[in-house]
Structure 1
Amino acid sequence: MEQILFESTTLTGGLICPDCRGSLDITDAQSWCMHCDLHYERNNHGYLEFITDEKIAQIDTTTDDYAEDQRTCGDRLYEEYLRPLFMKEPFHRVLDVGCGVGRGITRLLEGGYDAYGIDLLGLSRYWREVGNDPNHFFCCDSTRLPFPDGFFDLVYSTGVIEHIGTTDGKSTLAANYLESRRQYAAEILRVTRPGGRIMISCPNKSFPVDIQHGPQDETVPKSSWWRNFIFDKTRMNVHRIRGNYHLLSYAETRRLFCQSGEVSSFEPLPLKGYFGFGRFQSGFLKPITRLANVYVENLPASLRASFLNPYMLVEIKK
């Protein structure tokens, strides 16, 4: 990757309290808000924890197999899709909201960018295993970010928004899910500078098949045995396209981000290079995989925000 040189910056000294947005006094062991007196400790793995909601703190959906899959897929996604997209416009400071094991941020740091990743507490043990810098990775609730206003040129969040406002970090919506999602969008907009870019992605709710999540929604009646049967045989989740469901459509995502009046553009992005279809590279679904890949890579721009697009992938400019 081409090395981009900038003046070095130290964000740690500029972190803010996610509760009151006051200044933090940071030591090797903890950070302390000089305004509201809240303390944020470093966990056993050495990463600052900014999560104060016990329910969110207890969510841990990452398994060893999933973490390994993230490492492999993260490199491919970065090289084939994210890096070419990011390089279209100059940028320096980057935030990955829901960074997983942090491969994208690691690659950006190696390229000389000032890059940061946040995720839930359970990811910090994987960060330690691969040596992720505690000054660039933080345990956070994505609806309460510890960063100054307008700090980032680029914020991206892939496969995260559909889990915001769920009861277990998966797919069952909480009663206040919409409020949580509005706060998620508001926080991302807050930390993005004017003129900066935001990239959001998740499976498109308007498309009835999801290849990334199973049919675990607790609100689905038990009579939907056929969904489980199809998923067990094909790893494809046939889901509802209307009403309350954890996935979002383009229209719903547009409303979340554009209602503040801070957005100058909202553009659906092409899918070419985004998917690897790794889980479908063998067996009887392999021929279908080839057709699916041709389909998503050649979907006309005019149809990207429609029900014919299996994925919701947008670039938002502030």
Structure 2
Amino acid sequence: MDKNYLAQQYNSKKTLFIKGSRKYDTKSITIFHEYINKFDIQGKKVLDMGCGDGSDLLIIQKQGADVFGIDSSAEMIHEAQKLFSTEKFSTCDFTQTPFPNHYFDIVVSKWAFQTASDIQSIYKEVIRITNDNARFIFLVAHPIRQFIEKTVSPKDYYQQEIVKSVLFDGTLVVEEPSHTFQEYFSPIFLSRFQILEYAEINDTGTERINGDIYPSFFIIHSAKK
């Protein structure tokens, strides 16, 4: 998939995404911040990978953290820069960030990693830019949900395909590559991070195909080994 594709996708759908997220993603936003609030972030350097309009980092900054954000969408970064110092926010690929080695105490991400085709390269970059004992918290679309959203027949869980996710009562459709649990819980991740908490959650922001009940996302709280 073209690396510029997702940036272009969210540039054109920025307003719909921001408005829809604030209305429909309250559950994932609440759980995301509950995980972050379980430890002291005062004075910590925090990076949000896929920061969007910066609304999550605004909450984190109020708790005394030194916040930074990156996103693949230039339009989203433009919105974030309205709230923060511009030099702390940049448009870039998650696998090639502009930060030095061992710079961050905490890396967080919400509804972002599933937009990338290569999860392992993201992990390698997180390992590079975090210090010893850093916390790593991320929330992503659940692989089961992505499998259900595949439209080809027969469906192949293991084959990475672009799936269309219908969000916010049908007001927004985004395209994302599907992933497996093996990609998220890979040897790279498990060798460098200890899982402290994990949860699978059913949210209201995504389409419920055939009325079935299944998790919309999962969230992981981990510590760097």
Same fold (TM over 0.5): yes
Deviation of the 1:242 alpha carbon: 2.5
For 2:218, the equivalent position in structure 1 comes to 312
Query: RMSD of the TM alignment (CA)?
Result: 3.3
- DSSP-derived class of the 1:270 partner: strand
Residue 186 (structure 2) aligns with = 255
Task: Give unmatched runs, 5+ long, in structure 1.
Answer: 1-53, 166-179, 225-237, 293-307
Is the alpha carbon distance of 1:127 and 1:242 closer, same or farther for their aligned partners in structure 2, counting shifts above 3 Å? same
Give the paired residue count.
199
Return the letter of the residue paired with 1:187: E
Matches within 5 A, 1:1-318: 56=4, 59-62=7-10, 63=13, 64-72=15-23, 77-78=28-29, 80-91=30-41, 92-120=44-72, 121-128=74-81, 130-165=82-117, 180-206=118-144, 208-210=147-149, 240-245=156-161, 246-255=177-186, 257-258=188-189, 261-263=191-193, 265-267=194-196, 269-271=198-200, 275=203, 277-278=204-205, 292=213, 309-318=215-224
Whole-angstrom CA distance in 2 between matches of 1:84 and 1:157 = 14
Q: For each residue in 1:38-57, what CA deviation from the matched residue of structure 2 results, as whole angstroms up to 9, or x when unmatched?
A: xxxxxxxxxxxxxxxx9538
Higher-helix-fraction structure:
2
Q: Which runs of 5+ in 2 are unaligned?
A: 162-176
Q: TM-score, normalised by structure 1?
A: 0.53
TM-score norm. by structure 2 comes to 0.72
Amino acid at match of 2:192: E
Residues in 2 aligned to 1:82 and 1:269: alpha-carbon distance in whole angstroms: 12
Task: Please say if residues 46 and 107 of structure 2, whose CA atoms lie closer than 8 Å, have aligned partners that are also in contact.
Answer: yes
Q: Is the 8 A contact 1:204 1:247 kept in 2?
A: no
Alpha-carbon contact 2:52-2:77 (below 8 Å) kept: no
Matched residue of 1:59: which SS?
A: helix
Asked if the contact 2:138/2:220 (under 8 Å) is kept, the reply is yes
Structure number with higher relative contact order (C-alpha < 8 Å, ≥ 6 residues apart): 2
**Inter-partner Cα distance in structure 2 for 1:197 and 1:85:** 11
Q: Write the distance in 1 (CA, Å) between the matches of 2:5 and 2:143.
A: 27
Counterparts in 2 of 1:201 and 1:99: CA distance versus 1, 3 Å: same
Equivalents in 2 of 1:251, 1:279: separation in Å?
Answer: 23
Q: Contact 1:202–1:247 at 8 Å: present in 2 too?
A: no
Aligned residues of 2:45 and 2:67 also touching (Cα < 8 A): yes
Kept after mapping to 2: 8 A contact 1:70/1:100: no
Cα distance between partner residues in 2 of 1:189 and 1:317: 11
Q: Which has the larger radius of gyration?
A: 1
Aligned-partner SS, 1:107: helix
